Amino acid sequence: MSINCIRTLLEDAALTHSDKTSVVFGDKSVTYGELFSRVNQVAFYLEELGLPKDSRIGIYSNKGIEQVVSVLAILSTNHILVPLTKLLKPEQVEYIINDCDIKCIITDKLKLESIEEINFDGHIISYETTSKDIASFDEIYKYYNKPYICDINGHNNAVITYSFGLSGTPKGIVISHRNLIDSARVVSQYLHLEENDIISGLLIFNLDYGLNQIFCTLYKKARLALHRFILPEDFFNHLINDGVTVLPVMPVNLSQMFDEDVRRIPSADLFDSVKTITSSGGNVTEKMIGDCKKHFQKASFYSMHGLTEAFRSTYLDPSQVEIRPDSIGRPIPDVELYVINADGNECAVREVGELIHRGGYIYRGFWNAPEQNAERFKSVQILKDVINLEGQLTDEIVVASGDYVYKDEEGYLYFVSRQDDMIKTRGFRVSPYEVESVVAINIPQIDQCAVFGIDNELIEQEIVMVYSAAGQISENEIVFELKKHLASYMIPSRIVFKKSLPLIQSDKSQINKSELKRTLSDN
């Protein structure tokens, strides 16, 4: 067994901390010993399916202890985990299933109907017993009690996570077992996590930031307290009742929790257990930082910046958060970051250039996407005018992030823009092309359509859709149709009708989105 895989953490925790509570969700909980037993039973069943090595297995369900079991069970086999966020619509799930050829899906009773809607012909496993034709965890726990032994190679592929790429369709990024355990090690180090920590499982487990909470919990043999954010009041109760000490959030979560009437927020002394807050997936504002300081008075706030192609690049130390709240910080341990201009030279102080990530935590690449891989994963030779490459014996890979940043006089980095026109909202990346394609296919009365993002402090960017048609269409009618095909976070919050849309002078087939943005901003 490789030491560089999550499975080794689980085995060690079960051996040394068998009776300690590992995961809680409301009034339900499991010890490390119970978690290990359940994971083994599900992993044993997955192996019994006889799927080829490296088969992709999806998890499409609501949050719960069994979802954590599913994640760890798949990572205890020679198969590959594909998390499918519950926010995805059936047709989006179907795209991912076809793109990476998912052979098995683990789900719950609520999402089973969506899977049946797309006529998935692979294996289906449900947490609850639903019918005699579908295997369930209830049955697996009852009948699969044989010893389970596995041998995981740390260099093998472990996870494929999907986000929206330049082409407008989801692109899967491939993550190795070594990547997963390295990310747990480095985060545990710079956040100073401890065995007695209780880590909030607020984030969904569709991307690496959310999954990392499971792995950090195992790494430190801590406790993971799951929570589904529905109402701020419930969230505050989660922090108090579960005794949360480490709170990983996205900026949109901070907006949600502090948008409530301040009189309904519990007294600050009830949150004294919270010692660490981490934020990634978007820019934090001074208001967010101020709200955290006011209500979580004993907590250190870490702002972090990650890449699709690498686990994480920077973090801003809590001592600097109020001094330079707009900064994304400095490199995390084992990472070198460079800002280079179009000529390949290192940018001067406050000169904007592309962020190049060198060193640890670089992922394997995009699944079946050679163009995207060529664009993002580069030879270290692109740094030949910046660093000394004398004696380099192999061609090292670095990430050309597509993030444009600048560095201040003290070496702190500041994000400026993306190379592409991706919209970042509520912690998600949304491709305008994805939304525009749905409009073109499903709302034929619309002649032209342009989708883009406009800055919104609360959610980073709001999605705006401008369209032309023979006559104005009811906004409710447009939203109703879009909701059939798109996840909720992809629905435009602002829909504008115009008789005609401006075109780019040099290319009359392209809508001039910059002009539309200026027009709407002026209004």
Is 456:494 a contact under the CB 8 Å cutoff? no
Tokens of 106: 């683990």
Query: What is the chain's mean pLDDT, rounded?
Result: 92
Confidence class for position 509, pLDDT limits 50, 70, 90:
low
pLDDT value at residue 232: 86
Element (DSSP H or E) covering residue 217: helix 208-220
Confidence class for position 507, pLDDT limits 50, 70, 90:
very low
Place of tokens 């090292």: 396
pLDDT value at residue 523: 64
Query: Which is more confidently placed, 491 or 431?
Result: 491
pLDDT value at residue 505: 57
Whether the per-residue pLDDT at 84 is higher than 90: the answer is yes
pLDDT value at residue 75: 98
Strands 123-126 and 102-107: parallel
* Domain covering 327-418: architecture: Roll (2.30)
Residue 475 burial class via C-beta count within 10 angstroms: exposed 0-12, middle 13-18, buried 19 and up: middle
pLDDT digits (tens, 9 = 90+) for 459-479: 889 999 999 999 999 999 999
Pick the CATH number of 6-177 from 3.40.50.12780, 3.40.50.510, 1.20.1560.10, 3.40.50.970: 3.40.50.12780
pLDDT value at residue 326: 85
Residue 87 burial class via C-beta count within 10 angstroms: exposed 0-12, middle 13-18, buried 19 and up: middle
Entry pTM: 0.85
CA distances from 374 to 340, 342, 367, 369, 377 (A): 18, 17, 12, 9, 6
Residue 130 burial class via C-beta count within 10 angstroms: exposed 0-12, middle 13-18, buried 19 and up: middle
pLDDT digits (tens, 9 = 90+) for 16-73: 999 999 999 999 999 999 999 999 999 999 999 999 999 999 999 999 999 999 999 9
Q: Which 3 state secondary structure label does DSSP give 200?
A: strand
- Percent of the chain at pLDDT > 90 equals 72
* Domain covering 423-522: architecture: 2-Layer Sandwich (3.30)
Confidence class for position 429, pLDDT limits 50, 70, 90:
confident
Place of tokens 């701020």: 232
CB count, 10 Å around CB of 141?
16
Domains 6-177 and 423-522 share a fold: no
Query: Domain map of the chain by residue range?
Result: 6-177, 327-418, 423-522
Least confident of 74-88, 157-171, 212-226, 291-305: 157-171
The amino acid at residue 410 is E
Measured CA angle at 378 (ends 375, 382), to 5 deg: 115
pLDDT value at residue 361: 96
Query: Which is more confidently placed, 511 or 410?
Result: 410
Is 70:45 a contact under the CB 8 Å cutoff? no
Measured in degrees and rounded to the nearest 5, phi and psi for residue 375 equal -75, -35
CA distances from 208 to 2, 61, 213, 365 (A): 21, 17, 9, 14
Q: Which 3 state secondary structure label does DSSP give 222?
A: coil
Whether the per-residue pLDDT at 140 is higher than 50: the answer is yes
pLDDT value at residue 506: 47
pLDDT digits (tens, 9 = 90+) for 341-388: 989 999 999 998 899 999 999 999 999 999 999 999 999 999 999 998
Beta bridge partners of 277: 247, 301
The 3-state secondary structure of 346-371 reads ECCCCCCEEEEEEECCECCEECCCHH
pLDDT value at residue 18: 98
